């Protein structure tokens, strides 16, 4: 029997456990506890600025200037750092997308079953909002050319935009954290209720913060930041055109690859409902900052670099980079699709060739195909793709390779956290699984 409560919640009474502690205490810490959480909350926003100040018109890194020249010319004044007007635009952009999320007519999708027995319904609108948005930007560019004032404005206000995103990320995390103490006692994330304010604010205390029909976590995960990333990249291409009168092959590749990644995530939006972020992580600063600041501003570093330091790859260079991207994408997409197909319908005849083990939870774990090579071959594919995004910047700087370094750390940490969750979920069956599939990410190596 299914009952809807008008807030996008569906409860299946038959399967709801009898007694559930919606606000159970967290046992054990990730990220080395409150100290680690505090450190990441200070270091990560600083790195976002550092990448801007450490890679700009004065060099990447800015070795052309002495330290005193650097301080004189690069350290910004308050007005260069912050603009109330730009903050207003950023807030309007996010609220505009949120408004579209709750108003666009879409078929809602059910998320995984929560420990309360309910399944939340989600309005997945990223593709429906992205396509018209991109259409409007393409139309503007077609009419006004790459000199369109919107592109120039984005380039000129990059630092203001970054600061605005930082402020919104911080404020949103605080708002959601405070709201999680409301008297109606919402469902809390298993890992985000340690009782330590800094840790819980960072990891995320509430599992599914919502305002009416808007699921704030899912909306932020795939909405404003990912779209912002693609828009920033286009502004960087426009800047390159304005400076050298053409757009280089490397810039075209970066734009296509990353646009494709964004589009692919939107196209496969239902798959986000089974990711760790939606299923088990709360919505705290780690994700508000990650989604709204880190993704758009640091993932687009290569495009910003090429806008200032054009690189021509030539036919061989383009072919090499396409090959890396092709291999990475093939592994990433096939591995993700294989698991999604298996989780959606384990008895699908197309998956008959795959071997699996049965677990006491009733769920099966694949032990052949992509998921038999390593426990996260999809991460490996994603990381290989990351190389294809860095290589077009050439070998004149190491700064643009920041992404593959950071991403390796993120994926290793993510794999460890997922391993912890699965051990709790599957108990001894997980040990059995890991004794069969020994590699964590890179088959036979790690
Ligand atoms: N670009 C970026 O910054 C980021 C990209 N990503 C990408 O997002 C994608 C999704 O990643 P993520 O959500 O972390 O993790 P996965 O898609 O790898 O999903 C992990 C879950 O899959 C299930 N699972 C694990 N092993 C098996 C198995 N053998 N058979 C069947 N199911 C299994 C488990 O959940 P259960 O058993 O409950 O179904 C586990 O919790 C990845 O491709 C990743 O690269 C992720 C983070 C950041
Ligand atoms: C430095 C710091 C505090 C980082 C926080 C980590 C975040 C940048 C990432 C955590 C999980 C993410 C996911 C994606 C982007 C990066 C963050 C926000 C994702 C939206 C990328 C596209 C994928 O297809 C995805 C939808 C599966 C993925 C979800 C997780």
ipTM of this complex: 0.95
β-pairing, 214-215 vs 210-211, is antiparallel
Over 70: is that where the pLDDT of 9 sits? no
Domain extents in the chain: 9-312, 315-446
279 Cβ neighbours under 8 A, 6+ residues apart: 111, 112, 273
51 Cβ neighbours under 8 A, 6+ residues apart: 297, 298, 301, 399, 402
Q: Among 286, 343, 427, say which to mutate for ligand 1: greatest number of ligand atoms within 8 Å of CB.
A: 343
Give the best-scoring range by mean pLDDT among 40-44, 66-70, 275-279: 40-44
Distance of CA 278 from the midpoint of ligand 1 (Å): 11
Cα gap 333→271, rounded to integer Å: 11
Least confident of 7-11, 219-223, 253-257, 297-301: 7-11
- CA nearest neighbour of 339 among 382, 368, 380, 362: 368
Q: What's the whole-number mean pLDDT along residues 166-181?
A: 98
357-368 confidence digits (pLDDT tens) = 999 988 899 999
What is the predicted pLDDT for the residue at 17?
52
412-422 confidence digits (pLDDT tens) = 999 998 999 89
Which residue's alpha carbon is at the smallest distance from atom 13 of ligand 2? 221
Give the mean pLDDT of the chain: 92
Main-chain phi, psi angles of 300, to 5 degrees: -95, 10
Q: What's the whole-number mean pLDDT along residues 339-346?
A: 86
Q: Which ligand is nearest to the CA of 263?
A: 2
Distance of CA 307 from the midpoint of ligand 2 (Å): 25
| Percent of all residues in the chain with a pLDDT value above 90, rounded to a whole number | 78
Over 50: is that where the pLDDT of 386 sits? yes
Q: What's the whole-number mean pLDDT along residues 319-344?
A: 94
Which residue's alpha carbon is at the smallest distance from atom 6 of ligand 2? 290
Cα gap 274→363, rounded to integer Å: 14
Q: How confident is the model at residue 19 (pLDDT cuts 50, 70, 90)?
A: low
What is the predicted pLDDT for the residue at 172?
98
Over 80: is that where the pLDDT of 65 sits? no
Over 80: is that where the pLDDT of 152 sits? yes
What is the predicted pLDDT for the residue at 206?
96
Q: What's the whole-number mean pLDDT along residues 110-136?
A: 93
Distance of CA 112 from the midpoint of ligand 2 (Å): 19
Tokens encoding 352: 């008959």
- Decide if 324 contacts 330 (C-beta within 8 A): no
Q: Which ligand is nearest to the CA of 414?
A: 1
What is the predicted pLDDT for the residue at 3?
36
Distance of CA 220 from the midpoint of ligand 1 (Å): 19
**First vs last C-alpha separation in the chain:** 46
Over 90: is that where the pLDDT of 74 sits? no
Over 60: is that where the pLDDT of 16 sits? no
CB of 108 closer than 6 A to ligand 1? no
Over 90: is that where the pLDDT of 64 sits? no
- 3-state SS, the chain, equals CEEECCCCEEEEHHHCCCCCCCCCCCCCCCCCHHHHHHHHHHHHHHHHHHHHHCCECCECCCCCCCHHHHHHHHCCCHHHHCCHHHHHHHHHHHHHHHHHHHHCCCCCEEEEECCCCEEEEECCCHHHHHHHHHHHHHHHHHHHCCCCHHHHHHHHCHHHHHHHHHHHHHHHHHHHHHHCCCCCCCCECCCCCCCCHHHHHHHCCECCCEECCEEHHHHHHHCHHHHHHHHHHHHHHHHHHHHHCCCCHHHHHHHHHHHHHHHHHHHCHHHHHHCHHHHCCCCCHHHHHHHHHHHHHHCCHHHHHHHHCCCCCHHHHHHHHHHHHHHHHHHHHHHHHHHHHHHHCCCCHHHCCCCEEECCCCCEEECCCHHHHCCCHHHHHHHHHHHHHHHHHCCCCCHHHHHHHHHHHHHHHHHHHHHHHHHHHHCHHHHHHHHHCCCCCCCCCC
Burial of 49 (0-12, 13-18, 19+ CB in 10 A): middle
Distance of CA 233 from the midpoint of ligand 1 (Å): 27
* Cα–Cα distance list, 243 to 104, 146, 154, 248, 441 (Å): 39, 11, 15, 12, 42
Over 80: is that where the pLDDT of 73 sits? no
- 3-state SS, 5-53, equals CCCCEEEEHHHCCCCCCCCCCCCCCCCCHHHHHHHHHHHHHHHHHHHHH
Main-chain phi, psi angles of 108, to 5 degrees: -80, 150
Over 60: is that where the pLDDT of 2 sits? no
* Cα–Cα distance list, 304 to 60, 76, 82, 258 (Å): 11, 19, 20, 13
Q: How confident is the model at residue 147 (pLDDT cuts 50, 70, 90)?
A: very high
| Percent of all residues in the chain with a pLDDT value above 70, rounded to a whole number | 96
Q: How confident is the model at residue 13 (pLDDT cuts 50, 70, 90)?
A: very low
- Decide if 379 contacts 440 (C-beta within 8 A): no
What length does the chain have?
446
Over 90: is that where the pLDDT of 306 sits? yes
Ligand 2 pocket, CB under 6 A: 40, 44, 221-222, 265, 272, 275, 277, 286, 289-291, 294-295, 410
Q: What's the whole-number mean pLDDT along residues 130-139?
A: 96
CB of 275 closer than 6 A to ligand 1? yes
For the whole model, what pTM was predicted?
0.92
Which residue's alpha carbon is at the smallest distance from atom 34 of ligand 1? 422
Cα gap 146→134, rounded to integer Å: 15
């Amino acid at each position: 029997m299914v009952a809807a409560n008008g807030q996008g919640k569906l409860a299946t009474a038959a399967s709801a456990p009898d007694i559930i502690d919606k606000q159970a205490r967290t046992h054990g810490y990730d990220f080395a506890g409150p100290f680690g959480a505090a450190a990441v909350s200070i270091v990560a926003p600083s790195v976002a600025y550092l990448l801007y100040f450490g890679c700009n018109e004065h060099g990447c890194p800015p070795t052309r200037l002495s330290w005193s020249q650097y301080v004189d010319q690069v350290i910004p004044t308050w007005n260069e750092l912050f603009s109330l007007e730009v903050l207003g635009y950023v807030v309007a952009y996010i609220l505009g997308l949120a408004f579209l999320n709750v108003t666009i007519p879409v078929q809602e999708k059910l998320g995984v079953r929560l420990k309360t027995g309910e399944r939340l319904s989600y309005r997945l609108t990223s593709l429906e909002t992205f396509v018209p948005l991109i259409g409007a930007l393409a139309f503007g560019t077609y009419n006004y050319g790459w000199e369109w004032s919107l592109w120039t404005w984005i380039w000129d206000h990059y630092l203001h935009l970054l600061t605005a995103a930082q402020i919104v990320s911080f404020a949103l995390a605080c708002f959601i954290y405070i709201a999680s103490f409301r008297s109606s006692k919402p469902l809390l994330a298993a890992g985000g209720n340690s009782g330590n304010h800094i840790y819980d604010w960072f990891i995320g205390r509430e599992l599914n913060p919502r305002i009416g029909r808007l699921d704030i976590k899912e909306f932020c995960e795939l909405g404003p930041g990912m779209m912002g990333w693609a828009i920033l990249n286009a502004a960087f291409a426009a800047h390159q055109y304005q400076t050298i009168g053409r757009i280089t092959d490397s810039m075209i590749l970066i734009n296509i690859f990353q646009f494709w990644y964004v589009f692919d995530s939107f196209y496969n939006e239902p798959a986000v409902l089974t990711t760790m972020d939606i299923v088990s992580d709360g919505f705290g600063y780690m994700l508000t900052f990650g989604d709204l600041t880190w993704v758009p501003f640091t993932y687009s570093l290569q495009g910003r670099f090429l806008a200032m330091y054009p690189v021509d790859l030539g036919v061989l260079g383009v072919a090499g980079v396409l090959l890396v991207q092709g291999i990475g994408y093939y592994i990433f997409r096939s591995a993700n699709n294989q698991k999604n197909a298996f989780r959606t319908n384990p008895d699908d005849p197309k998956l008959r060739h795959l071997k699996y083990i049965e677990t006491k939870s009733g769920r099966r774990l694949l032990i052949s195909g992509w998921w038999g090579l390593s426990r996260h071959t999809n991460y490996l594919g994603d990381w290989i793709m990351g190389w294809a995004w860095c290589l077009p910047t050439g070998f004149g700087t190491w700064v643009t390779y920041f992404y593959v370094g950071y991403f390796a750390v993120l994926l290793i940490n993510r794999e460890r956290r997922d391993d912890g969750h699965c051990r709790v979920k599957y108990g001894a069956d997980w040990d059995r699984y890991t004794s069969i599939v020994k590699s964590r990410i890179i088959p036979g190596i790690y």
